[in-house]
Structures are given as structure tokens and as C-alpha cells.
Chains A and B, each alone.
Chain A
Amino acid sequence: MLATVSSASLHGIRGHAVTVEVHTTGGGLPSFAVVGSPDAACREARDRVRAAILSAGLHWPYEKITVNLAPSGVPKVGAGLDLAIAMGVLVADRQLEPALVEDLAFIAELGLDGSLRSVPGALPLAAATPPGSVVVAPPNHAEAALVESRVILSVPTLRDLVDVLMGLDGWPEAPPVPSPSDPGPLVDLALVQGQPVARRAAEVAAAGGHHLLLIGPPGAGKTMIAKAVPGLLPPLGVDDALEVTTVHSAAGLPLPPGGLVRRPPFRAPHHTSSSVSLIGGGTRQMRPGEISAAHGGVLFLDELGEFPAHVLDALRQPLEEAVVRVARAYGSTTFPARFVLVGATNPCPCGEATPEGGSCRCSDLARARYLRRLSGPLLDRFDLRVHVDRPSAAELFACQPAEDSATVARRVAAARELAAGRRVAVNVAITAASADGLAPLSDDARRLLIRAVESGRLSARGVHRVRCVARTVADLDGHDGVLRAEDLATALALRAEPQSFAASGVA
């Protein structure tokens, strides 16, 4: 007998519809084969499905069973097709009427005890199914329910599902969705004592989407400042939230209660991470990498100089285009990758340099080599580069509490509204062609820029980047018009030149 059941499989962060065809025939030895480009997890479905059907107290047909996953040319990954295969076997064995599964799609992994288990990517998978209802495991319910055009149903076990389909029972209530509570920022900016320059830089980065490089010795608070940046960003809008949730869902990352990611994410991959884990890809299943997991939020690269050069090079295209294209022999896909990059680095291998030498014993050669890894095209992407020094005891124990994230986030939101009023999403995206219209200079500001260029502190490219940052600085002051000298001076002060990273700036 033949049965067809609807399901879906992941390719990158997108789902694609899969038709599960099951054919049983009495002739020959009993066997069970899965064809149609299944991966290892998918092929193992036959053992799980048989055990689950027997555990559910149902009959297993001892016949020659062939499962085809159509379209057969597209690779299928993961265990999400288990339930659809089980339903196909039951229909083909005439334990269930074909009409009962006609308008349903099935997305769940099966346990040997017959229970339904959640799978990564429930959101894009549910969206890829044919119109109708989708049956998922209860833990996937909230996430799949974000797809408004489908009716999401969930039952805890295969036995329950069969009972419901045969009309012995009704569909159980959807599992209660915990009310989305705001967990608050990862690190509140109020915890960053002293550090006025770095605090200001974090605020500007959040408001203008500018990438931020923090340079300082170990223990100066670079990581803390980086972790405070996502808390300054406004919550994700509806479209962004859905896109970020899709990426996180496909990457198998834990989703917040309620399923929808509303907070800008914060990702901090270690410098030993492989370039595939950062950028995305894989041999068969195209998994989004860390830079896509940071989409809409902050990507923090600590010890930037320790990342392998090819990994940093691979970052350049996504930084430019806000998407990352990954191509493999099996096919290619794109992942969204629009994030604020926050980098942190020591000024030299030991990080202890002071103007008179300090306890730093790095040779000039070692320092130059360390900084060379940062210099060039990647460094150019950082509009904001600030030095972070260890705070003094007096700063650490200052009686005056510093501004908290909520206060700064309000300023950031207001600044972003000003930018939106000029039809610019974030100021980092101001093009050189539109700079004169969007970021006009006052006479004082122009003089300041000319002096910076003449003294060799600023390149032609740098001039434009400084203007974009100055626009953000002005926006944060609620100042929408011509850029003042103060805005330009702040932007220049927040852009340390590479030669200033090491201690001995003068030969």
C-alpha cells in the first residue's frame, strides 16, 4: 500500500517542504529502507519509528517497507521527519485512514517510548509546510505558533496523536505560554564605574550601529562594556524579531519563553572557534554561524588579535553587506548578518605598557607584529576605537552611581528616531554621497576636520567615518542640524589611531 504525508526539512535557515512517501508490500523478506538523500540522523529514523510504534501499542507491519523523501535530490537533515515517517507507515498499513492525515503536516522527532520530541528550526519548518495544520512536539508549540498562517497542534505522544486522529479524544490544549518577562540587560551600564570615554563610545555604538574596538590591558573592563552594549539597543521590531528567531531556531539555540526573540542577541565566540562555526556552513546541513546568531544584536570578539587571520578576513564581506553567503558542493545559501561588532584587544602582547614603559617588557618587534594583525581593512571597519584603562580605586568606589542602561537606552532610542526621520536606518549606513546633506558641517567643525587631515591623523576614508560618528554624537544630544565642533571633536577623540595603541607613540 502507498501513503503520502507532509513534513519539512531545513536548508540553512529556511525550511523546504518534504513529502514522505511510504510503500509497503507483503512480498519478500521484511525490511525497512529510507531513500531520498537522508543524512545519518534521518536514516536512523527507521529504528526509532519501529520502536515508537511498538511502544505506542500499535502494530508494526512485518513487510518490505520503502520510505522516499521527496524531492529526493535535496539533502534531508535531522530527525524532524520521524513523526511523518511513522504516520506514513500507519497509513500505509491501513491502521489510519489516508483522509485523517490529509491536511496535516508532521514535524517532530520520536523517542523509543513513543513520545514526541522537539527539533531545531520549528519556526522555519512550520512556515515551509503546505497550508493547513502542523503537528509538533509540545516544547516546539510556542515557537511554531509564530507562523500565523498555520494552525499549530501538539500532542505529547504518538499514542495520543493516533487517538486524537481516530476521534477517541480531542486535541489537547496548547501548553501554557509563560508571559514574556524582560530579563533586563546582560550587564547594566551602571556597573561600569569611571571609564567615561568607553561609556560614551558604547552609547554611540548602540545609537549609530558603529563598530567598536576596545583597547586596554587585562582587567580594565572591556568585556563588561561589550556586554552592556546589547542592553542599550532598542528591542527588536516585529520583522527583525521574526528573522532573528528564525536564525536562532535553525541554529538550535535556546529561545526565550514565548518563542520570539525580542532582545538584541549577544554572541561572544572564543578565538579558537573555527571559521565555519563563526561564518556558518557545514558539509550537508547549512547551519548559521555565530555572526548570524548575532544578527540584530552584538558580536563580541575578545582578544581580536588572537583570531586566525583567515577568520578575520572572512568577516569582511558580511560586515560590508550585512548578509553572509555560504556556498558548498550541495548548494548555497545566505544568512542574515547585521550586527554591531565589538572587538577587544590588548595594546601589546602583555598589555602592561605605560608611557614610561610600565612593567611592559614586549620588544618593539613583538608589539609591531601584534598590532599588524589588527591593522588594515578590518581595523578600518571600526569607527570607534577607544582605550580602556584599569579604573583607579577612587573611580571604582565612586559614591556617585553611574548612569544605568535604561537611561542611556532612552537617549539611544531618541537618537535612532532622529536618524529614522532622515530615512537612515542607522548612521553607520550614511554613504559618502549623502554625507553633505545628512551630516552638514559647521565652519568650526570643518576647520577641525581640516586640521586633523593636515596633521596626518585622518585619512580621506577616515574623514567620512568621523562625520558619520559625529552625526550620531549630535543625534544623542538631540541636535538634528549642522554638526558642531563639539560633535566632531568627540568623534575624533573616539577614534584612536593604530599607532597610539602601543605605548611609545614617538620614536
Chain B
Amino acid sequence: MAHAGAEHDLPPEATLVALLSLPKLGPARLRRLLRGRTPEEAWDGILGERRDVLAAAESPAVASSWPAAAHDLDLVGLWERHLALGLGVLAETAPAYPAALREDPDPPALLLTAGDPTALGPVRVGIVGTRQCTRYGIDLAAELGHLCSDNGITVVSGLAAGIDAASHRGALVAAGAAPVAVAGTALDAPYPRANTDLWRDVAAAGVIYSETPVGAPTERWRFPARNRIIAGLSQVLVVIESHERGGSLYTAAQAMDRDRPVFAVPGPIRSPASAGCNRLLLDGCVPLCDPDDVLVAVGMIADTTTPVEAVTVAPEAQPVLHAIAWQPTTLDQLVLATGLSVGQVSVALEQLLADRLVVSRGRWYERSARLTQIVGPNGPASESRS
């Protein structure tokens, strides 16, 4: 039997964790539940199947599922699981609760944290984008993450695959300002699983926030809810790449609702991964034409003396480098475009990969976004931001 915490000496946060573990109980329903009630009153109301409490669900089906779920829930056990995992639990009153969220129109009633809850810096830039991104997006997200962290700016992102992961990785490499992540899933189960190492590194260097209690299932609706927190934490939001429809566009809309500047990175009009960004530009977002623009937007003056590396490209490799467009290109396409043999193209590719002028992703080859001056054996040939 799970009664409200008082008799077990449980803190009010424990009841909040239990409430958030109920099926389909998101930020909006929690807010309605807690209107004029303490968490304990709401919990007891659900256990007692009081109609005025259950009305907060605004759906008879959802409301009817709550009392049974609450009866089955082991309140003490759930709380102890959170403590055993070493997770921080921040109610709105906690000192470490982000100040930016206190003024938010839709603040999370409870934040679970992995890592250092005080890692959140005073200057914060959100970097978000699609999971299905191109190399251009990955490189730019990593570069921007690196640039921000290097300049003491906290990078806020969502730990998803693709752009989010790349921005965190860039920030981790710079080892400047601590990275901050807002996860849509519970903190005991990294998602996607392939990024387990990234979760560990971000939690070790900075902090991961989540509104989802341990043990709660991964559900679709949790991701837009997570996105509003990213928007709330960021003073400036940068959308690197987004499809025509995507969670990044929701984050951008939330940031705009909060009057935060939103940058969108212009992309090729033929690239589906940039369709959402180009749409944002049409809607009046600021185009990000130089990574330093972000520094200017948060009131820092950009240091424009980024050193340019000189890279020598062997003459045999030059036609292959030219044939790799800014679109992902397959080996087949390169062989057909250059008229060289599979062997010749492969040798050139191995050289370009070693020089990091080209990267491979799956079966595609792409130009990397390194700032380089490509020189032939006879001196400077062309400068390119490649």
C-alpha cells in the first residue's frame, strides 16, 4: 500500500517522483494536479479516487488508470532506487534548481540530475538538430560545441543521436565550460544505447537533467516536453539541421515563445536534412553565417584569428576531392565521375581520409568541414572552407 510519504519520513520530492511515474502524467497534467494542492494531497487524492483530483487528467481513460497504478507503486522502493543510483532530485525550491527555469512559463516541477547540479553556467547556448543529419551538420555542431565550451559558454543539448551528440562531443573535447544535457528518458537507461559512453562523459564533466523518473518507459511525448526545458535553459538557440518536420522545430518554437534569439544554419535547398532550417530562415530566424555569430549574440567579441591549416593534396587525389561534392557521395559515383579505376579512387580516398579532408559515413564519403587551405605540390591552389 503506497501512502503519501509523511509516515515514512520521505521528502515531498519522493511523492513528486511517484506522481511523475504514473502513466501519461506529463508536465501539463502535473501542473493541474498541483494547482492548490501539495504533492501529498494529490497522491492521497489519487489513491482515494477523488473525482476533483482525477479531473486533472482531463481524460477519463487516463484518470481511471492512475489509482491502480498508484496502488501498485512502491513509493519507498522507487525513492530508494533514485538515491541508490546517486541521482540528484531538485524541486523548484532547491538552491541548485536552475534559476532560468524558475521564471519559465512552463517550469518542470521536479528535475532529476546525474552529475554536478551546479554545472550550469551563466551563459548558455542551446545547440539542437536532427538525428538523421549530414556530415556538414555533424561537423558544424561539433565545431560550435567546441567554440562555445572553449569560450566559457555552456552548451545545452538533448543527448539524442546526430546533431545533439556531436555538439556534446565538441564541448567535451574543448573541456571548457561544462556540458549540460536534458534527456527525454530516464537517467538510468542511456538512450540511444549506442551513446552510453557519451552519457557517462557528459555526466562526469557536467550534468544531465531529466524530468523522467527511473523506471518510467521511453515514450514519444517525453521528447517535446524535454525540448521545452532546453529552450528554457538556453539564452540563444542554434538549430543546425532539421527536417521539414522535427523536434528541433518544436524547440525553436518554444525558444521564440520565450523571446530567445534563434539561429538557423542555412543548408542546401536540395538537402532534406536542411529543409526545416531553411523554413525557419523564411520565418524570420537569424541565419548563422559564421560560428562566431553565436559569440556575438551572447555578448562576447569573437576572436577572428582562427589559424588556417595548410594541407597538401597529391595531384592524383585532386580529381577525387573535386568529385566529392558537398552532398554525400558513394564510391560508385566517384568512380563514374572521375573515370578512374576502383583501385585508383580507393588509394586517393585513403589518402584524403588520412588527411581528414574527407570523412566516410556508412557507404558515403563527404567533405569534412575543416577550415583548410588546400595547396597543391606547386603552392597554394585554392582556399576553401572545406
A interface with B by C-beta (< 8 Å):
194-198, 200, 354-358, 364, 387, 389, 395, 448, 451, 473, 485-487, 489-490, 492-494, 496, 499-507
Chain B residues with Cβ below 8 Å from A493 are: 331, 342, 345-346, 349
Docked pose: A489 CA to B352 CA in angstroms: 12
B330 on the A face (CB < 8 A):
yes
Residue of B195, B343, B354 near A486 (CB, 8 A) is B343
Docked pose: A358 CA to B272 CA in angstroms: 8
B74 on the A face (CB < 8 A):
no
B94 on the A face (CB < 8 A):
no
Residue of A486, A489, A502 near B362 (CB, 8 A) is A502
Name 8 A/B residue pairs within 8 A (Cβ), A-sorted: A197-B342, A356-B132, A356-B328, A358-B272, A473-B343, A492-B346, A493-B342, A494-B342
B335 on the A face (CB < 8 A):
yes
Chain B residues with Cβ below 8 Å from A496 are: 363
Docked pose: A506 CA to B131 CA in angstroms: 9
Chain B residues with Cβ below 8 Å from A489 are: 343, 346-347, 349-350
Residue of B135, B331, B362 near A197 (CB, 8 A) is B331
Query: Are B162 and A356 closer than 8 Å at their CB atoms?
Result: no
Between B131, B161, B345, B363, the greatest number of chain A beta carbons within 10 A of the residue's beta carbon is seen for B363
Docked pose: A267 CA to B346 CA in angstroms: 32
Question: What is the minimal beta-carbon distance from B296 to any residue of chain A, in angstroms?
Answer: 29
Residue of B nearest to A496 (CB): B363
Query: Are B362 and A505 closer than 8 Å at their CB atoms?
Result: yes
Summed over the interface, the residue pairs from A and B with CB atoms below 8 Å come to a total of 101
Residue of B nearest to A452 (CB): B350
B323 on the A face (CB < 8 A):
no
B332 on the A face (CB < 8 A):
yes
Question: What is the minimal beta-carbon distance from B294 to any residue of chain A, in angstroms?
Answer: 23
Residue of A nearest to B348 (CB): A489
Residue of A195, A356, A492, A507 near B272 (CB, 8 A) is A356
Produce 1/0 per residue, B190-212, CB < 8 A to A: 00101100100000000000000
Residue of A448, A486, A506 near B344 (CB, 8 A) is A486
Residue of A389, A490, A501 near B342 (CB, 8 A) is A490
A389-B332, A493-B331 are known contacts. Are A507 and B195 too (CB-CB below 8 A)? yes
B113 on the A face (CB < 8 A):
no
Query: Are B343 and A490 closer than 8 Å at their CB atoms?
Result: yes
Question: What is the minimal beta-carbon distance from A61 to any residue of chain B, in angstroms?
Answer: 75
Residue of B162, B330, B345 near A507 (CB, 8 A) is B162
A194-B332, A195-B332, A507-B161 are known contacts. Are A357 and B272 too (CB-CB below 8 A)? yes
Produce 1/0 per residue, B169-196, CB < 8 A to A: 0000000000000000000000010110
Residue of A nearest to B275 (CB): A356
Chain B residues with Cβ below 8 Å from A502 are: 362
Chain A residues with Cβ below 8 Å from B345 are: 493
Query: Are B335 and A486 closer than 8 Å at their CB atoms?
Result: no
B134 on the A face (CB < 8 A):
yes
A194-B336, A364-B192, A493-B331 are known contacts. Are A504 and B131 too (CB-CB below 8 A)? yes
Between B192, B194, B336, B343, the greatest number of chain A beta carbons within 10 A of the residue's beta carbon is seen for B343
